[in-house]
Amino acid sequence: MNTPHTLDIKDYIVFLIYFIIVATYGLWIYRKKRAKTSDSKDYFLAEGSLTWWAIGTSLIASNISSEQFIAMSGNGFKMGLAIATYEWMAAATLIIVAVFFIPVYLKNKIYTMPQFLSQRYNGNVAMIMAIFWLLLYVIVNLTSILYLGALAINGISGLNIDLCMYALAFFAVVIALGGMKVIGYTDVIQVVFLIFGGLVTTYLALDKVAVLNNQHGVIEGFNYMMSESNDHFHMIFDQKNSNFPSLPGLTVLFGGMWIVNLNYWGCNQYITQRALGADLKTARSGILFAAFLKLLMPVIVVLPGIAAYVIYLKGGFQTEMLGEDGVLNPDKSYPVLLNLLPAGLKGLSFAALTAAVVASLAGKVNSISTIFTLDIFKKKINTKASETSLVNVGKITVVIAMILAVIIAPFLGIDKKGGFEFIQEYTGFVSPGIFAMFILGFFWKKTSSNAAMFATIGGFMLSVVLKFLPIVLSLQSLISFGFSTLVVQKDGTSLYEIPFLDRMGFVFVICVIAMVIISLLDNKRGIASKGLEVDSKMFKVNSGFTAGALLVVGILVALYTIFW
């Protein structure tokens, strides 16, 4: 099954149509917006402009990128449907964010995450985290999305990787310069291409699997996949499964997976920004819509990986799936599948992948611009800056951040550091402390600034200690701890460690306990805490939202019951 990594003229035509549609629509939105009075909140948040469907699709467009298409599909090849827990648990998490998090932000007129920290704790905590988030977003997130996206497109089209990177960066900057309103509405088109193109790829991948059994069709392909790779259709691993350290059993339902998702969807400027410019009802409806879309994502990004695994199992892709070192590389599964598509359809899937990368880049660079402009420039550099100046600074920041990402991305070795699992693990070094700081800041008025500072610094240090402590002490006698095993087999050798999802859970619990103790001591010494305005009435939802939320939960229960 050797396939050329090139695009046909029909593919370029399909891609050009996609580009023209997005660019034209974005320009129309931009000109329509310019006809009205524009200020910094309109530029960064599209205040009062995004509809529920624009918010929902923008959330998904910003979240789905090469990380999912390439790395999560690779995990589908390696471990199967279980990796879909990141998507399906996110659907449940979005409901919690809509009910409990968004009302707090909107009621207290919070537009950025550093603003929340300043308003709830103090300026020092806010400034430290603003700088930290900027560094994380530029050096880790923006570069990863850009470079992995360029690698994926290079693998499909054969175009020079530097050219791919420059083109993606330019396209994203053009969209981002229009502000959140342009990003939000062009994301609707991006998601249409993303979902439609992704479903086409899944359809053809399953049909290719069916052909292995002398049949045709999606249902036949899916049934054959289940019969030939039944081990790839279990959501909960037991301790004997070699993938257990990545997804340690019930932890995905009751442990660290909640911290991963609640921190990402509820305490992340990059994500929450989409809903912070809307009223509560619109924001909640948009987030609920995103939850429904999340249920669909594994069909687009995980099933193709399993399909590639079955084809490989039956003798296909024997050379295409090898990395430069001659070793099987699961992250190649999605690009390899795309190269099987006929001319025209390959262009559609190519557009879907490009849409996912560009939308994520535009959303990320807009968040970088928002944090720098509103939380650093306006507060520390020019406190009297006009609204026009703030918008101009935001646009300049967009360009500078993307240029920095283009320059440094090739030197970080991003393509050699693994895929989705690696990103999740090393993000997990900081997310437990940050989430503890946010959740206590929301709902416990006695939480002090010193406690928040401990969560920021101490949470990271605890994560590092728990990462290496079992290795240093060689804790061979500790076969299990909580829901996880401490024994991990790598290359025939024994490595003792706490699986990162469990480690996140332990760090979060320790941070919460320590924050409570520090806050009580601070309160005893008369150190005042600044609580937010929280009213139980804020958390009431309408009947339509309740019905939608129950439907999402019901689908999740059914999925986990069927594929347990």
384 and 444 within one domain? no
pLDDT digits (tens, 9 = 90+) for 269-285: 767 766 776 788 988 99
Residue 220 in domain: yes
With 90 as the cut, is the pLDDT of residue 493 above it?
no
386 and 308 within one domain? yes
Which residues, at least 6 apart from 95, have a Cβ–Cβ distance to it below 8 Å? Answer: 287, 288, 291, 549, 552, 553
Q: Which domain holds residue 524?
A: 428-533
Residue 333 in domain: yes
Domain count, the chain: 2
**What is the mean pLDDT of the segment spanning 187-211?**
81
Question: Mean pLDDT across the chain, nearest whole number?
Answer: 80
491 and 390 within one domain? no
190 and 310 within one domain? yes
410 and 473 within one domain? no
For residues 152 and 524, the model is more confident at 524
Please state, for a pLDDT cut of 70, what percent of the chain lies above it.
Answer: 84
pLDDT given for residue 33 in this prediction:
58
Residue 269 in domain: yes
Q: Which two tokens stand for residue 56?
A: 């929902």
For residues 472 and 292, the model is more confident at 292
457 and 351 within one domain? no
What is the sign of the dihedral through the CA atoms of 224, 225, 226 and 228?
Answer: positive
pLDDT given for residue 381 in this prediction:
86
Q: Could you give the 3-state DSSP secondary structure of residue 411?
A: helix
With 60 as the cut, is the pLDDT of residue 482 above it?
no
546 and 461 within one domain? no
pLDDT digits (tens, 9 = 90+) for 293-346: 999 989 988 999 999 888 888 888 777 777 666 777 787 788 788 777 777 777
Alpha-carbon span 193 to 355, nearest angstrom: 7
**What is the mean pLDDT of the segment spanning 54-74?**
78
**What is the mean pLDDT of the segment spanning 252-267?**
86
Residue 1 in domain: no
**What is the mean pLDDT of the segment spanning 510-533?**
86
CB-count exposure of residue 264 (10 Å: 0-12, 13-18, 19+): buried
451 and 554 within one domain? no
Question: Residue 368 sits in a domain of what CATH number?
Answer: 1.20.1730.10
Residue with tokens 């060689």: 474
pLDDT given for residue 12 in this prediction:
84
pLDDT given for residue 105 in this prediction:
86
pLDDT given for residue 317 in this prediction:
78
With 50 as the cut, is the pLDDT of residue 120 above it?
yes
pLDDT digits (tens, 9 = 90+) for 133-144: 888 888 877 887
pLDDT given for residue 1 in this prediction:
45
pLDDT given for residue 484 in this prediction:
47
Pick the range with the lowest mean pLDDT from 4-18, 141-155, 173-187, 446-460: 173-187
pLDDT given for residue 436 in this prediction:
92
pLDDT given for residue 128 in this prediction:
83
What is the sign of the dihedral through the CA atoms of 48, 364, 272 and 533?
Answer: negative
Top mean pLDDT of 314-323, 403-412, 436-445 is at: 436-445
pLDDT-derived band of residue 182, with 50, 70 and 90 as boundaries? low
**What is the mean pLDDT of the segment spanning 92-96?**
94
483 and 557 within one domain? no
pLDDT given for residue 36 in this prediction:
52
**pTM exceeds 0.85:** no
With 60 as the cut, is the pLDDT of residue 114 above it?
yes
With 80 as the cut, is the pLDDT of residue 505 above it?
yes
pLDDT given for residue 38 in this prediction:
55
Alpha-carbon span 46 to 42, nearest angstrom: 4
Q: Which of 54, 300, 283, 45 is nearest to 198 (CA)?
A: 300
Alpha-carbon span 185 to 302, nearest angstrom: 27
401 and 502 within one domain? no
Top mean pLDDT of 45-59, 230-244, 415-429, 473-487 is at: 230-244
Pick the range with the lowest mean pLDDT from 192-206, 393-407, 491-505: 491-505
pLDDT given for residue 511 in this prediction:
93
Alpha-carbon span 335 to 327, nearest angstrom: 17
Q: Which two tokens stand for residue 317?
A: 């892709």
304 and 443 within one domain? no
Top mean pLDDT of 184-193, 213-222, 331-340 is at: 213-222
For residues 528 and 368, the model is more confident at 368
Q: Which of 171, 172, 182 is nearest to 38 (CA)?
A: 182
61 and 196 within one domain? yes
pLDDT given for residue 332 in this prediction:
78
Residue 219 in domain: yes
With 80 as the cut, is the pLDDT of residue 66 above it?
no
